[in-house]
Amino acid sequence: MGHEPDDEDTPRGYSSPACYLHEFDELKSWDEIRAWRKSTREALISGRLALGVSKLQTKGAVAKQKLLAAVELKKYPTLGLYWCMRGEIDVRDIARQHIEAGGIVGLPVVVEKAAPVEFWRWQPGMAMKRGVWNIPIPGKREVVIPDALIVPLVGFDDERYRLGYGGGYYDRTIASMARRPFCAGLGYAEGKLPTIHPQPHDIPMNIIVTDQS
């Protein structure tokens, strides 16, 4: 969830998302939009990995500072986070701080493909195991219900819609919850797009935070 590899090809060489701007007016069907999202997703992931670990860490640290300044996380007792991969911002320090302040942290776990995920309680130093797609998950199933989510971004637009990895797990999970959690998208400024061509199944974030906004 948020990390699920897209169900298409492995990323090709990097191209700026601007290369796809000329296609915007031509996109009408879901098949066309899905193909555009695939190409844009690959370009953005390749582009951020090309920045290198040091620069990503620096940009990520700034983004996290902006997130903590914009959102009072202590208002949300149970926080759903993610285990970073493919150049995503590492939020384990935020998780530890939240737990130290008396909060609860859950990590997303795919228990059934193409279905809502569960959030399993995570604590520093606990035993972990490999879940679907080899993503680390808590070694023990203790389901928690997040009051807020910090959601990784591949891309995003001004309407706060998020471009993810194509699996739809966040949208599916948020839609299934009895009480919608506060959703904060966290990513890099380079991921900004004029639009992701939102569809009825896309759910906007409450806020999007990057190293520049």
- Residue 24: predicted pLDDT: 47
- Quote the CA–CA distance of 3 and 154 in Å, as a whole number: 10
CB neighbours of 143 closer than 8 A, spacing ≥ 6?
A: 106, 118, 119, 120, 121
Residues 72-106 pLDDT 10s: 999 999 999 999 999 999 999 999 999 999 999 99
- Quote the CA–CA distance of 200 and 202 in Å, as a whole number: 6
* pLDDT mean over 154-162: 97
- Quote the CA–CA distance of 108 and 170 in Å, as a whole number: 9
Confidence grade of residue 26 (pLDDT, cut at 50, 70, 90): low
Rounded to two decimals, the pTM is 0.86
CA-atom Rg of the chain in angstroms: 17
Q: What percent of the chain has a predicted confidence (pLDDT) above 90?
A: 79
pLDDT at position 122 over 50:
yes
- Residue 30: predicted pLDDT: 87
Residues 38-50 pLDDT 10s: 999 999 999 999 9
According to CATH, the superfamily of the domain at 17-209 is: NagB/RpiA/CoA transferase-like (3.40.50.10420)
Q: Which two tokens stand for residue 175?
A: 């839609």
Residue from 162, 158, 207 nearest 37 by CA? 162
Q: Where are the domains of the chain?
A: 17-209
